[in-house]
Amino acid sequence: MVDDIPFLPEISTSKPLSLLGHVGRFGLWLWVAGITDIEIHFLQIKFTAIGVYLEPEVVAHLQQWKGKSGNELAQDDDFFEALISAPVEKIVRVVVIKEIKGSQYGVQIESAVRDRLAAVDKYEEEEEEALENIIQFFQSKYFKKHSVITYTFPSASPSTGTAEISFSTEGKEEAKIKVENGNVVEMIKKWYLGGSSGVSPTTVASLANNLSALLSK
């Protein structure tokens, strides 16, 4: 449970995935959870709950950080770069807490991804087109409470640069879009899993603490 939002401890793709997070390890996969929020006039407004699903094999690609504490990992952006580039399947499941328009969410993605690409001089016509397709995908959607946005990054995505985004909400058929621009895919990963630059500090802290515990075994 993350802010009263339930997350399955395990999901199945080509093989079962478990959620990496506060209570450790389940089966073949791992779990982590957090939220996105903003403070307005001293009130904390929560927008989404986030579950991150990773293959347990990810630990083999992070041995350089064995013995580091969760606090140390949370502040080490090189650690999160290694996590993002590790050749394992990753799924980020985002569940809506506060209702918003899909166009508002699309603007958040556009700004986050475009600014990251521009900062490393990778925002070209192909990236602009791929990002525009994502924005159009969300444009007509309405994010009711408990709507789910799922980002699936295949294990081969570091080399192929692909991802699938799906959106599901009560009473409507699930919608999907494939993203085939590697630079855009990389920056979406960094938006959710990017250490100090990630959108959700609670997700980053939970990832760091739980991967630290797994690396110490």
pLDDT tens by residue, 137-189: 999 999 999 999 999 998 865 556 899 999 999 989 999 999 999 999 999 99
Distance (Å, whole) CA 175 – CA 194: 26
Which is nearest to 17 in space by CA: 48, 49, 57? 57
pLDDT at 76: 96
Greater confidence, 44 or 217?
A: 217
Considering 10-14, 146-150, 213-217, the range whose residues carry the highest mean pLDDT is: 146-150
Q: Token match 């985002």: residue?
A: 94
Contact 110, 70 (CB under 8 A): no
Residue 116, pLDDT > 70, answer yes
Greater confidence, 73 or 12?
A: 73
| Tally of CA atoms within 13 A in the half-sphere of 23 that contains its CB | 10
pLDDT at 127: 96
pLDDT confidence tier of residue 41, bands split at 50, 70 and 90: low
Percent helix / strand / coil, the chain, rounded to 5: 40, 30, 30
pLDDT at 146: 93
Mean pLDDT of 88-109: 91
Which is nearest to 194 in space by CA: 180, 208, 178, 214? 208
pLDDT confidence tier of residue 124, bands split at 50, 70 and 90: very high
pLDDT at 119: 96
Residue 28, pLDDT > 50, answer no
Distance (Å, whole) CA 97 – CA 71: 27
Greater confidence, 39 or 60?
A: 60
Q: Which long-range contacts (CB under 8 A, 24 or more apart) does 41-45 make?
A: 45/98
* Exposure b/e, 13-52, CB count within 10 A at least 16 = b: eeeebbbbbeeebbeebbbbbbbbbeeeeeeeeebbbbbb
Residue 27, pLDDT > 60, answer no
Distance (Å, whole) CA 206 – CA 201: 9
Return the structure tokens found at 40: 């307005």
- Name the 3-class secondary structure at 71: helix
Distance (Å, whole) CA 15 – CA 77: 29
pLDDT confidence tier of residue 34, bands split at 50, 70 and 90: low
Residue 62, pLDDT > 70, answer yes
* All domains of the chain in start order, with CATH: 28-57+86-192 (3.50.70.10)
Length of the chain: 217
Contact 21, 50 (CB under 8 A): no
Return the structure tokens found at 202: 């609670």
Q: Which residues pair with 95 in a beta bridge?
A: 49, 148
pLDDT at 168: 96
Q: What is the mean pLDDT of the chain?
A: 84
Residue 20, pLDDT > 90, answer no
Quote the percentage of the chain above a pLDDT of 70.
80
pLDDT at 61: 94
pLDDT at 51: 87
Return the structure tokens found at 74: 């949370």
